[in-house]
Amino acid sequence: MRRIRSFRSYCAEHGLIEREELTLERANRFIGWYARRQNLDPQSLGLFRSALQSLNRVYHGMGLAPPDWRSPRPAKPPATPLLAEYADYLLRHRGNPQVTVHKKLQHIGKFQGHLIQAGEGWLSIGLTDVDAFLVSYAQRYSGSHVSDVACSIRCFLRFFLHWSGRIPVDLSEAVIAPVQPRLERPRRALAWENVQRLLKAVDRSTPMGLRDYALLLMMSTHGLGAGEAIRLRFDDIDWEAGTLSVVRPKMGTAFTLPLLPAVAKAVAHYLRDGRPSGTPTRHLFVQMKVPFGPFAASSAIRHIIAKHARAAGISGTFLGSHVLRHSHAARQIDLGTLPRVVSELLGHRDPESLSAYVRIATETLRDVALPVPA
């Protein structure tokens, strides 16, 4: 309260509207002013920032609509006209989803930075430039990532530079990347008894626990990925029909699943007793801190899974945001669900992708295991 009083005195002295000053940027400006007046180090005044953020939350809770504490980051346009044209080509002609376009632009941007440092440009590019970049990249990153970057460069050279006539020779076929055997590593999944332990470890006596339980139960029961779960909205649930509409983030396609009774009960309990009142978004699952917005990225799901896995005594470096999706797929195969059905439910464009889940369906694999030679 003492820090907030100092902030209010600052606002009054400068003729500022207190509510409008409750942003991170303006709070830092106040801290700089206060540090100069008191002859203090601004780095030692972090608690002022925390106090003002709490005041911002109070205003939100009172329905007074203060500005967002952090301004949303605007989407960065491609760095150059060339990359902007390439992005348009990927979207319009290749039909790539936005997330893929963003990834490819990142890769090409790094390659372009390498060319600039080497004093080269796109029109003078040679295979030695590509090789030098990939070799240096391989010294810092995994083979799978380097292979992904090489694929982006190959696509850029083949379908854009050569296709558009900017360079006379198609260099794409000569781009060499690390060989990555298909499905070299099995998908990371939990044994089904560990999935049950994870769910039982969630403390449902708190609003956050109600949210986490409904979220994790839905993901493990329906095989949802993190991106699908955080995009769910009220309109996606048809309570009368008992269905759930899901949109695949990469393809933008929608399909309908039956909303199983246990999941419906957990979601209803969360909506009634856990979801904060006055939440400004229609997203189903929201953050439990003001302004109670939707999850910004799937990394939040990874943290939720890891948190409850620790409580359940489950350890491992593989507890990513998709571990429940993989566990669900393996479970369905073990229960005898047709692989084609599982592939369609998971939204795979390539039916062969299912082989990744067959490899982790341990109970089914026991039936085809060979005896160990004596």
Q: What is the pLDDT of residues 298-356, one digit of tens each?
A: 888 889 998 999 999 987 766 777 788 878 877 877 777 666 666 666 665 555 555 55
| CA proximity to 137, closest of 175, 172, 171 | 175
Across residues 135-144, what is the average pLDDT? 80
Which pLDDT score, from 0 to 100, does residue 304 have?
92
Across residues 351-362, what is the average pLDDT? 52
Which residues does 188 contact at the CB level (< 8 Å), separation at least 6? 316, 318, 319, 320, 322, 323, 326
Above 70 in pLDDT, residue 371? no
Across residues 39-68, what is the average pLDDT? 86
| CA proximity to 218, closest of 234, 230, 204 | 230
Above 60 in pLDDT, residue 360? no
Which pLDDT score, from 0 to 100, does residue 22 have?
92
Query: pLDDT-based confidence at 209, cuts 50/70/90?
Result: very high
Across residues 346-368, what is the average pLDDT? 52
d(Cα 43, Cα 31) in Å, to the nearest integer? 9
The residue whose two tokens read 């540090």 is 35
d(Cα 325, Cα 353) in Å, to the nearest integer? 14
**DSSP label of 19:** G
Query: pLDDT-based confidence at 272, cuts 50/70/90?
Result: very high
Output the CATH code of domain 192-366.
1.10.443.10
Averaged pLDDT of the chain: 81
Whether the CB-CB separation of 201 and 264 falls below 8 Å is answered with no
pLDDT > 90: what percent of the chain? 29
Domain boundaries in the chain?
2-61, 81-174, 192-366
Which residues does 249 contact at the CB level (< 8 Å), separation at least 6? 97, 99, 225, 227, 228, 231
pLDDT > 70: what percent of the chain? 83
- Architecture of the domain defined by 81-174: Orthogonal Bundle (1.10)
| CA proximity to 188, closest of 325, 347, 340, 343 | 325
Above 90 in pLDDT, residue 174? no
Residue 97 has which token pair?
A: 């989803």
Across residues 138-152, what is the average pLDDT? 82
Q: What angle do CA 54, 55, 58 make, to 5 degrees?
A: 90
